[in-house]
Amino acid sequence: MKEWTKHDLLDIQELSKEEIELVLKTSKSFKEVSTREVKKVPTLRGKTVVLLFFEPSTRTRISFELAAKRLSADTISISSSGSSASKGESFLDTAKNIEAMNVDLIVMRHSASGAPKIVAEALAPSVINAGDGCRAHPTQALLDLFTIKERLGRIAGLKVGIVGDILHSRVARSNIWALTKLGAKVTLCGPATLMPRDIERLGVDLCYDLNEVIAASDVLMVLRLQKERMQEKFLPSIREYARMFGINRNRLKAAKKDLIILHPGPTNRGVELSADVADGDHSVILEQVNNGVAVRMAILYLLLGTKEK
Amino acid sequence: MKEWTKHDLLDIQELSKEEIELVLKTSKSFKEVSTREVKKVPTLRGKTVVLLFFEPSTRTRISFELAAKRLSADTISISSSGSSASKGESFLDTAKNIEAMNVDLIVMRHSASGAPKIVAEALAPSVINAGDGCRAHPTQALLDLFTIKERLGRIAGLKVGIVGDILHSRVARSNIWALTKLGAKVTLCGPATLMPRDIERLGVDLCYDLNEVIAASDVLMVLRLQKERMQEKFLPSIREYARMFGINRNRLKAAKKDLIILHPGPTNRGVELSADVADGDHSVILEQVNNGVAVRMAILYLLLGTKEK
Amino acid sequence: MKEWTKHDLLDIQELSKEEIELVLKTSKSFKEVSTREVKKVPTLRGKTVVLLFFEPSTRTRISFELAAKRLSADTISISSSGSSASKGESFLDTAKNIEAMNVDLIVMRHSASGAPKIVAEALAPSVINAGDGCRAHPTQALLDLFTIKERLGRIAGLKVGIVGDILHSRVARSNIWALTKLGAKVTLCGPATLMPRDIERLGVDLCYDLNEVIAASDVLMVLRLQKERMQEKFLPSIREYARMFGINRNRLKAAKKDLIILHPGPTNRGVELSADVADGDHSVILEQVNNGVAVRMAILYLLLGTKEK
């Protein structure tokens, strides 16, 4: 297996199949650390990891913060509110100032697609994209892959349905790349107004009949519906959306017995998922959260722990 | 002495007299740690403590955070603003996601009475109630007991007056339970509109004459007056309240010489306490804050440090 | 060289020339720590450093937080929002409560001039003024001195132009004291409406012709223009200000070849500095940020690490 050579993680596309498999393998060994009595290894002692979130986030920020702390790194958390952003400084200027403090890695989320890439190109520290606009969220895709593989033993050949607001979803985009690269067959399903043009070019199928997608899938990846989409006239109403594209127990009668359902969280219970499905046997939502820490430990380790800078 | 067996600390009522005494004894030994040159012990190294505050708080959050850090635990702080709460996620869903990250203990404050209990029942990590609605604030009661016992040598037989807005006070409720269980004689004093119905059932006396309460008490526990109570028509005015139930130097002329005055903070100087009384000889307010860290270290240690999970 | 005896750092004026030089020399040795693979020394293990910011700040807070963490201190960050300040508690009361938790040092920023001094006089922990109103920002002056000396080899005899809103600038005030004490020749330049009365008493020159100041200076210290000053009628417009007092490439043609340009950040590109100057060869802005961590490590070390309390 090739050794890790990447300096940043901006996109799932830039990883080869071998690199993705190295991440998954490394994640497996770090997953064990979080189950120990003493959940801490000295791997990144004396390294500085900055969490630079220009969009609010609980789970992703905490997941990275815990991952860094369990590797013994020092963490600094910066959110846009209360920061220089409110004084009108550009995100690149903010990032350059952080770099000047000799930090080793910046985990960055930003509403503008491409912002982490701009920072990575300009700066010496490693950059992890923790979500940029509607573009990419590579660690989410990696933890989804890990969860699927842990449950079903493989990725190649699986039928994966991605359901919901594909148009605005960075989770969908990163997963489409990752899943197709590892040989899964991806079908997208959602309102036509929320389907990107020419998305078939990425090697996926479209299907507007949710029941058909459910019946055929080994994995359902259900996306969060942003309530703002109503105001933007993409959808007539939440109720209408839930009726057409919400996953509920009744619909799952036609599903394969060992279907697993993923959701990047936070869930809108009663909208894209009924509460009993979110908490039901098919759901692996909390496993995704659990695996997220392990995958992020692996990424931090691969970016920082294996090389002299 | 019985060993500690509790998994959570939700309420002072669920602790036996022996358990309360074990907490106080353990607190005493941890109090010494914070006076050392190196204020840190490795007791909880590799444990993860999450501070999940759905209500703003300075002193309680910091007190727990310092307690956890001085025990070498990793801490993660989550406040409702900037979190998934703003995306409409339920507090139980937030907590389940935190649990999925293999955390050991959640310190939780919430405006809804009973919220920490719901979380504790649903989740594997230990839960400490850091204040829920008007219901309970058990670590405050424990630090108050510790402070009283350290100052006056005992709890049993003491006369304790609790003065102010009893109706809305979780501090009062937890202290009434704790003090009566340890044999103190509690008298409540405050405006009739702010006195809960049938509160005598808890084994306390009522007295609407503050001067009488002051003269009889070994301990005065003065409650914070929430200014919102005016708008809710419980009180005609702050001035009226201060005149009737504010503790000032003049009123204390009739007090016992070694009376001690407690307040959970933050104080409204000039309302429930005059500034000279808050800073005066009777006041043990800052000792309470000091003892708070020690008591919280003891609780964290008892919940996490003494058992294999 | 005299040993360090100060308990607090409130003001640059209270430091002797020898003490300033001790800080600079100590900073140099700590600067090396941040370039190591393991950026951490155990100097302040078990010490508690509280960052108490009543005004928003990114770079100063992070700089102190990183400095403290690289010295292995425990840090607690308190910003005014979400704290007891919103419950009406005075800053002194907040600080006394923090003191009661056995903290070792408080780094404090406040919009009121003199607030850190009030806290330092009332409290046992050491206090570092991280900026109070328009009055003082001593660690900024120290890091500016360090940067100048590192670049130009000396302070004494240098010609330093400070350009911009002198009236409202704590950075200017602290630097005027520090630079003149170390023997630099300081000239102030800016709009007459933003020049304090009788400022010449501090031993500086005034010059309203920016070109003349640029031509004569070894060092230009450019101040941030607060946009609020427009509304307060100190200035007709930002455009007018940029035209009169903005530093751009064209103006720098008359500058000395090894002129260095400092700015405390965050910069308003296109206002007080053009983008090409901010990123150009004369600029040492990011070196200032880099040196800031080292200088703050030195200050924390001198205040906490060298004495028994």
Q: What is the mean pLDDT of residues A66-76?
A: 97
> Which residue in A135, A137, A149, A168 is the catalytic one?
A137
Closest Cβ–Cβ partner in B39, B265, B290 for C48 = B39
- With CA atoms as reference, the chain A residue closest to B45 would be A38
Q: What is the mean pLDDT of residues C44-64?
A: 94
In whole numbers, what is the pLDDT of chain C averaged over residues?
93
| Most confident among A303-307, B21-25, C91-95 (mean pLDDT) | B21-25
Are A183 and A155 in contact by the 8 Å Cβ rule? The answer is yes
> Taking CB atoms and an 8 Å cutoff, what residues of chain C touch A99?
286
Which of B75, B101, B106, B123 to mutate against chain A (most A CBs within 10 Å)? B101
Indicate whether B81 pLDDT > 80. no
N-terminal to C-terminal alpha carbon distance within chain C: 22
Return the CATH superfamily for domain B138-285: Aspartate/ornithine carbamoyltransferase (3.40.50.1370)
In whole numbers, what is the pLDDT of chain A averaged over residues?
93
> Taking CB atoms and an 8 Å cutoff, what residues of chain B touch C85?
58
Spatial distance between the Cα atoms of B110 and B92, rounded to a whole number of angstroms: 11
> Which residue in C17, C36, C45, C59 is the catalytic one?
C59
Are C284 and C261 in contact by the 8 Å Cβ rule? The answer is yes
> Taking CB atoms and an 8 Å cutoff, what residues of chain A touch C66?
48, 74, 76, 101, 103
Spatial distance between the Cα atoms of A199 and A218, rounded to a whole number of angstroms: 21
> Which residue in A26, A48, A60, A147 is the catalytic one?
A60
> Which residue in A2, A58, A87, A201 is the catalytic one?
A87
Indicate whether C171 pLDDT > 50. yes
> Taking CB atoms and an 8 Å cutoff, what residues of chain B touch A56?
82-83, 86-87
> pLDDT higher for B83 or C102?
C102
Q: Tell me the nearest-neighbour CA distance from B268 into chain C, angstroms.
A: 7
* Predicted local confidence at residue A81, as pLDDT: 56
Q: How far is CA A16 from CA A20, A114, A254, C11, in A?
A: 6, 20, 36, 56
Closest Cβ–Cβ partner in C56, C268, C289 for A82 = C56
pLDDT category at A270 given cuts 50, 70, 90 is: very high
Indicate whether C11 pLDDT > 50. yes
* Predicted local confidence at residue C82, as pLDDT: 42
Q: What is the mean pLDDT of residues C87-92?
A: 73
The helix-helix angle for A17-33 and A170-181 (nearest 10°) equals: 110
A60 is catalytic: yes
pLDDT category at A295 given cuts 50, 70, 90 is: very high
> Taking CB atoms and an 8 Å cutoff, what residues of chain C touch A123?
none
Closest Cβ–Cβ partner in B39, B70, B266 for C89 = B266
* Predicted local confidence at residue B308, as pLDDT: 44
Indicate whether B85 pLDDT > 80. no
Q: What is the mean pLDDT of residues C248-276?
A: 95
| Six token digits for residue B84 | 């998934």
Which of C59, C268, C286 to mutate against chain A (most A CBs within 10 Å)? C59
Q: Tell me the nearest-neighbour CA distance from B170 into chain A, angstroms.
A: 28
* 3-class state of residue C125 by DSSP: coil
For B23-63, write each residue's pLDDT tens digit: 999 999 999 999 999 999 999 999 999 999 999 888 899 99
- With CA atoms as reference, the chain A residue closest to B101 would be A290
In C139-274, the DSSP E strands lie at: 159-163, 185-189, 205-206, 219-222, 260-262
| Six token digits for residue A188 | 């997208």
Q: What is the mean pLDDT of residues C123-150?
A: 97
* Predicted local confidence at residue B309, as pLDDT: 37
* Predicted local confidence at residue A306, as pLDDT: 63
Q: Give the ipTM of the model, two decimals please.
A: 0.92
pLDDT over 90, % of chain B: 86
User: Which residues 6+ apart lie within 8 Å of B183 measured at CB?
Assistant: B155, B156, B157
Closest Cβ–Cβ partner in A82, A97, A103 for C59 = A97
Closest Cβ–Cβ partner in B48, B102, B308 for A290 = B102
CB contact under 8 A, A62 and B101: yes
Q: What is the mean pLDDT of residues B132-141?
A: 96
Q: Tell me the nearest-neighbour CA distance from C91 into chain B, angstroms.
A: 11
> Which residue in A39, A59, A227, A239 is the catalytic one?
A59
Q: Tell me the nearest-neighbour CA distance from A203 into chain B, angstroms.
A: 33
Instruction: State the CATH class of domain C17-136+290-305.
Output: alpha beta
In whole numbers, what is the pLDDT of chain B averaged over residues?
93
Do the bridges between strand B185-189 and strand B260-262 make them parallel or antiparallel, or are there none, so unpaired? unpaired
Q: Tell me the nearest-neighbour CA distance from A34 into chain B, angstroms.
A: 6
The helix-helix angle for C91-99 and C115-122 (nearest 10°) equals: 40
Which DSSP helix (H) or strand (E) runs through C287? helix C285-300
> Whats the size of chain C, residue-wise?
309
C109 is catalytic: yes
Burial annotation C67-90 (CB, 10 A radius, 16+ → b, else e): bbbbbbbbbbbbbbebbbbebebe
Alpha helices per DSSP H over A34-167? 59-70, 91-99, 115-122, 138-152
C59 is catalytic: yes
> Which residue in A47, A61, A109, A170 is the catalytic one?
A109
| Domain range annotation of chain A | 17-136+292-305, 138-288
Give the neighbours of chain A: at least 3 Cβ pairs within 8 Å.
Answer: B, C
For B198-232, write each residue's pLDDT tens digit: 999 999 999 999 999 999 999 999 999 987 777 77
> Taking CB atoms and an 8 Å cutoff, what residues of chain A touch C57?
84
Instruction: Classify domain B17-136+289-305 by CATH number.
Output: 3.40.50.1370
> Taking CB atoms and an 8 Å cutoff, what residues of chain B touch C68?
none
> pLDDT higher for A226 or B181?
B181
Which of C36, C62, C146 to mutate against chain A (most A CBs within 10 Å)? C62
pLDDT over 70, % of chain B: 95
Q: What is the mean pLDDT of residues A175-201?
A: 96
Instruction: State the CATH class of domain C138-288.
Output: alpha beta
* Predicted local confidence at residue C25, as pLDDT: 97
Q: Tell me the nearest-neighbour CA distance from A103 into chain C, angstroms.
A: 9
Indicate whether C44 pLDDT > 50. yes
Indicate whether C309 pLDDT > 80. no
Indicate whether A252 pLDDT > 80. yes
Among all residues of B, which ones are annotated catalytic? 59-60, 87, 109, 137
Indicate whether B238 pLDDT > 50. yes
* Predicted local confidence at residue C83, as pLDDT: 47
A137 is catalytic: yes
C26 is catalytic: no
Domain pair A17-136+292-305 / A138-288, same fold: yes
Are C183 and C157 in contact by the 8 Å Cβ rule? The answer is yes
Q: Tell me the nearest-neighbour CA distance from C65 into chain A, angstroms.
A: 8
Kindly report which listed range (B1-10, B296-305, C160-169, C275-284) carries the lowest average pLDDT score: B1-10
- The domain defined by A17-136+292-305 carries CATH number 3.40.50.1370: yes
